Amino acid sequence: MKTRLLAGLALVVGLAGPAAAEPATIFAAASTSRALDAALAAYSGDVVASYASSGTLARQIEQGAPVDLFLSANPRWMDHLVEAGLVRAEDVRPYLSNRLVLIAPAAAAALPLEAEAIAERLDGERLAVADPEHAPVGRYSQQSLQALGLWSVVEPALARTQDTNATVALVARGEAVLGLCYRTDALDVPGIQVLAELPADSHPPIVYPLAPVEGAPEVAGARDLLAFLQSAEARAILADYGFLVPGSGGS
């Protein structure tokens, strides 16, 4: 009976024809969402993009989430997956770079990167930043502020957000008087302005590594998507959104 049932199931599958290929899936840092969505709109294949903080995405991959490509906002979480045997070290490539900026609501007055001025602005108010424990932008921000001697000033006023998009939204709504985010997140966003760019030498280089995940569910689709993301067309679109992209003229 069991053999006949399996044979019957095999016949049904055979009559139904080959299953349609699933779309390729990419997990990408929240800070890439606007730019990557624009690039993927020019891609001829089917793709599903999921955005969150790099730490959240890396843990989802570690827990078995079906994903083909991972674009992290820093090497730390990519290295975590390499150590877990989920990404091959030789497949990891630096893909994008960025800058850190201090933002405020659009009507806010100018503000120098000086302890006294920042303390005065934060008196009883909040500074929004993605949680340094989970989001690379938060970690870069903490490292920069520590190097500039400003961390002790802002730490008591921190409003820790889920990711960089949440930070921008909080500042745009006026629920935080200051925020720290990537430069790309602040471009052309209603309700906010950039007050200052944090010195590039005050934190480690901002590197977004890209790599296929081991045993990617949709191998052919992953290969095609990876090739597209490395193309001049995709790089040019990402550079238009403010990313520093090697080979695009935006680096």
Q: What is the pLDDT of residue 16?
A: 42
Quickly tell me which residue has 């890439």 as its tokens.
32
Provide the CATH number for the domain around residue 82.
3.40.190.10
In terms of domains, do 136 and 75 share one? Answer: no
Q: For residues 96 and 243, is the Cβ–Cβ distance under 8 A?
A: yes
Inside any domain, residue 7: yes
In terms of domains, do 133 and 215 share one? Answer: no
Q: What is the pLDDT of residue 134?
A: 82
pLDDT digits over 91-134, tens only? 999 999 999 999 999 999 999 999 999 999 999 999 999 999 88
Q: For residues 55 and 77, is the Cβ–Cβ distance under 8 A?
A: yes
In terms of domains, do 73 and 114 share one? Answer: no
In terms of domains, do 118 and 155 share one? Answer: yes
DSSP category for residue 97: B
Inside any domain, residue 250: no
In terms of domains, do 155 and 189 share one? Answer: yes
Q: What is the pLDDT of residue 15?
A: 39
Quick check: helix, strand or coil at residue 155? helix
The pLDDT tens digits along the chain (251 residues) read: 333 333 333 333 333 444 456 789 999 998 899 999 999 999 999 999 999 989 999 999 999 999 999 999 989 999 999 999 999 999 999 999 999 999 999 999 999 999 999 999 999 999 999 999 888 899 999 999 999 999 999 999 999 999 888 999 999 999 999 999 999 989 889 999 999 999 999 999 999 999 999 987 778 888 999 999 999 999 999 999 999 987 554 44
In terms of domains, do 157 and 225 share one? Answer: no
DSSP category for residue 59: H
Contacts of 107 (CB under 8 A, 6+ apart): none
Inside any domain, residue 229: yes
Tokens representing 226?
A: 């990876």
Inside any domain, residue 246: no
Inside any domain, residue 251: no
Domain tally for the chain?
Answer: 2
In terms of domains, do 82 and 108 share one? Answer: no
Domain span at 76: 2-97+207-240
In terms of domains, do 89 and 120 share one? Answer: no
Pairing mode, if any, of strands 127-130 and 69-71?
A: unpaired
Inside any domain, residue 32: yes
In terms of domains, do 232 and 221 share one? Answer: yes
Specify which residues 47 forms β-bridges with: 24
In terms of domains, do 37 and 108 share one? Answer: no
Inside any domain, residue 245: no
In terms of domains, do 25 and 88 share one? Answer: yes
DSSP category for residue 68: S
Q: What is the pLDDT of residue 247?
A: 58
Inside any domain, residue 92: yes
Distance (Å, rounded) from C-alpha 88 to C-alpha 212?
8
In terms of domains, do 196 and 106 share one? Answer: yes
Quick check: helix, strand or coil at residue 69? strand
- The structure's pTM equals 0.77
